[in-house]
Amino acid sequence: MNYFPWLTIIVFLPISAGSLLFFLPHKGNKLIKWYTICICILELLLTTYAFCYHFRLDDPLIQLAEDYKWINFFDFYWRLGIDGLSIGPILLTGFITTLATLAAWPVTRDSRLFHFLMLAMYSGQIGSFSSRDLLLFFIMWEFELIPVYLLLSMWGGKKRLYSATKFILYTAGGSVFLLIGVLGLGLYGSNEPTLNFETLANQSYPVALEIIFYIGFLIAFAVKSPIIPLHTWLPDTHGEAHYSTCMLLAGILLKMGAYGLVRINMELLPHAHSIFSPWLIIVGTMQIIYAASTSLGQRNLKKRIAYSSVSHMGFIIIGIGSITDTGLNGAILQIISHGFIGAALFFLAGTSYDRMRLVYLDEMGGMAVSIPKIFTMFSILSMASLALPGMSGFVAELIVFFGIITSQKYFLMPKILITFVMAIGMILTPIYSLSMSRQMFYGYKLFNAPSSYFFDSGPRELFVSISIFLPVIGIGIYPDFVLSLSGEKVETILYNYFYR
């Protein structure tokens, strides 16, 4: 057994190293950037090392567990630990955050604060993915909102204050329900609060109470995930934010909602979940169609990508709602896969925005000649986003389809109907994503400005896009990379549904 507090170090390293940023000498932005990048890479390496040597894949239980008493009088523990469900998102967080920091290279305004906030977000996200205590989960969840809010409100487009306010109102509103749910679960039944996930997972509640808890958590996670009709903050926020923030939002933050849905709603409240799962599936299907057709009507490039991520999140919800081994595996794979693809698309949209300075799609056009590298990467990744075989999105969506088909819970007709409607989403996806790439790059255009010469992407941008592209194609060709991480845990979660 290993007693070295790996996870605590991993959680605390970015924020504590980030606070040192304020003590660095004022020697320009370069030092700050390099320092932040080094911290990010160090953190990623540390995470990978710890998981490589101290995490066993065949064990569905909590590993690298830590348990320190923190606040005595209401039994609040500092409990950390990871299992097959959380290892994927944690690694994704490390990867995307490092690349987002690299993508944020051109940020010069208040770069000290910016980079500190990035690192603070890093800590908060890893903290919430690795916490094993309900209240700690809530605290981490809230803690990570502050840097996001500041990032949104200080860097970005013209309407950034509006969108940041919208974001914080939505998520804070959701957090109220999360807090109610956390306290309700913790205080139910016994005199002293039980906040440990393991004990909670074995507890059973009256059905009515469980449904109430479930609704509370569902609202909180639906805001974050997002699930319609609580998604409206997302296009605004993505449309205005700086693209490195967008990468974090699309790559990690949205996945926290889905993660919470599996971790709390599915694992702790199985009865309510099996009652609610048909509704989840219906909502997920509607979301795929609705968001895909809304995306078509967007003029703003980033909003279009934002709606495409809403549409892709529908697959996760359906996978979670299908209550099958296959479906849940597909949902987890989609969490990882969309984390990469969404982040990469936002990054490429942002870099081409840096060059064109045009927001609306109908004003663009003919960029392929001047920026061929960005064009190539954008085409590849929009192909990945429309689930081309060989890319990770395809495998995830295919497995979700199988999850629905093999589900024991539903009858034939609803299954046919759901699959049919989901597959219509498959037709809508290429319409918006290919027309996006066509409007941006294809055709020709005369630029009136004399300085219409664009630089193609430099080595830094190329590095970022290629390093996102590699795992996308890697997972697409050999999906067992991710499936082997989560397989055992998924089986344990689903065991509850059939044998209890």
Partner 1 sequence: MWAFPNILLLSIVMIFSLDLSIQQINGSSIYQYVWSWTINNDFSFEFGYFIDSLTSIMSILITTVGIFVLIYSENYMSHDEGYLRFFAYMSLFNTSMLGLVTSCNLIQIYIFWELVGMCSYLLIGFWFTRPAAANACQKEFVTNRIGDFGLLLGILGFFWITGSFEFQDLFEIFNNLIYNNEVHFLFVTLCASLLFAGAVAKSAQFPLHVWLPDAMEGPTPISALIYAATMVAAGIFLVARLLPLFIVIPYIMNLISLIGIITVLLGATLALAQNDIKRGLAYSTMSQLGYMMSALGMGSYRAALFHLITHAYSKVLLFLASGSIIHSMEAIVGYSPEKSQNMVFMGGLRKHVPVTQIAFLVGTLSLCGIPPLACFWSKDEILSDSWLYSPIFAIIAWSTAGLTAFYMFRIYLLTFEGHLNVHFQKYSGKKSSSFYSIKLWGKEEQKIINRNFRLFPLLTLTMNNNEQPYTIGGKKEARITITNFGCKKAFSYPHESDNTMLFPMLILLLFTLFVGAIAIPFNQEGMHLDILSKLLTPSINL
Interface residues with partner 1 (CB under 8 A) are 324-326, 329, 366, 368-369, 383, 388-390, 394-395, 398-399, 401-402, 405-406, 412, 416, 419-420, 423-424, 426-427, 430-431, 434-435, 438, 441-446, 478-480, 483, 487, 491
Rg (CA), the chain: 22
Residues composing the chain = 500
For partner 1, the closer of residues 176 and 477 by Cβ is 477
Given the complex with partner 1, which of 22 and 444 has the nearer CB atom?
444
For residue 448, the tally of other CB atoms under 10 A from its CB is 6
How far is it, in rounded angstroms, from Cα 341 to Cα 391?
Answer: 10
In the complex with partner 1, the residue whose CB is nearer, 359 or 431, is 431
Place of tokens 């996001």: 148
| Cβ proximity to partner 1, 355 vs 438, nearer residue | 438
Least Cβ distance, residue 440 to partner 1 (angstroms)? 11
Q: Which is nearer to partner 1, 351 or 439 (CB)?
A: 439
Residues contacting residue 308 through CB under 8 Å, at least 6 positions apart: 291, 292, 295, 342, 345, 385, 429, 432, 433
Min CB(442)–partner 1 separation in Å:
3
Write down the least CB distance from residue 411 to partner 1, Å.
12
Would you give the distance in Å from CA 327 to the centre of its chain? 18
Cα distance between residue 205 and residue 203, in whole Å: 7
Instruction: Report whether 298 contacts 304 (CB < 8 A).
Output: yes
Calpha distance 318→258 (Å, rounded):
11
CB of 460 to partner 1, least distance (A): 25
Pick the closer one to partner 1 by CB: 149 or 481: 481
Instruction: Considering the complex, state which of residue 269 and residue 387 has its C-beta at the smaller distance from partner 1.
Output: 387
Which distant-in-sequence residues (6+ apart) come within 8 Å of 342 by Cβ?
Answer: 250, 251, 254, 305, 308, 309, 312, 385
Cα 25–chain centre separation: 35
- Give the integer Cα–Cα distance in Å for 4 and 9: 9
Backbone angles phi, psi at 56, to 5 degrees: -105, 130
Cβ 132 to partner 1 shortest distance, Å: 25
Shortest distance (Å) from residue 448 CB to partner 1 = 11
Least Å distance, CB 166 to partner 1, is 33
Nearer to partner 1, 201 or 434 (CB): 434
CA pair distance 63, 132, nearest whole angstrom: 11
Q: Which residues are CB-contacts of 410 (< 8 A; sequence separation ≥ 6)?
A: 278, 281, 404, 418
Residue 445 Cβ vs partner 1, minimum distance, rounded to whole Å: 7
Q: How far is the CA of 236 from the CAs of 169, 264, 345, in angstroms? A: 13, 28, 17
Strand partners, 69: 77
CB nearer partner 1, residue 189 or residue 390: 390
- Report the alpha-carbon distance of residue 344 to residue 350 in Å, rounded: 10
Of 89 and 479, which has the nearer Cβ to partner 1? 479
Cα gap 296→293, rounded to integer Å:
5
Least Cβ distance, residue 138 to partner 1 (angstroms): 33
Q: Which residues fall within 8 angstroms of residue 339, CB to CB, at 6 or more apart?
A: 89, 92, 96, 250, 251, 252, 255
Spatial separation of the C-alpha atoms in residues 172 and 155, rounded to whole Å: 21
Of the two residues 174 and 479, which places its CB atom closer to partner 1 in the complex?
Answer: 479
| Minimum CB–partner distance for residue 371 and partner 1 (Å) | 13
- The residue ranges of DSSP E strands in 42-89, in sequence order, are 63-71, 76-82
As measured in angstroms, the least distance from the Cβ of 356 to partner 1 is: 16
Q: What is the DSSP letter of 21?
A: G
Least gap, CB of 274 to partner 1 (angstroms): 18
Pull the structure tokens for residue 3. Answer: 């007693």
Among 195, 90, 186, 89, which residue's Cα sits nearest to residue 133?
Answer: 195
**Minimum distance between the CB of residue 412 and partner 1, rounded to whole angstroms?**
8
Does residue 387 sit in helix, strand or coil?
coil
Which of 117/386 has CB closer to partner 1? 386
Give the residue with the Cβ less far from partner 1, 125 or 277.
277
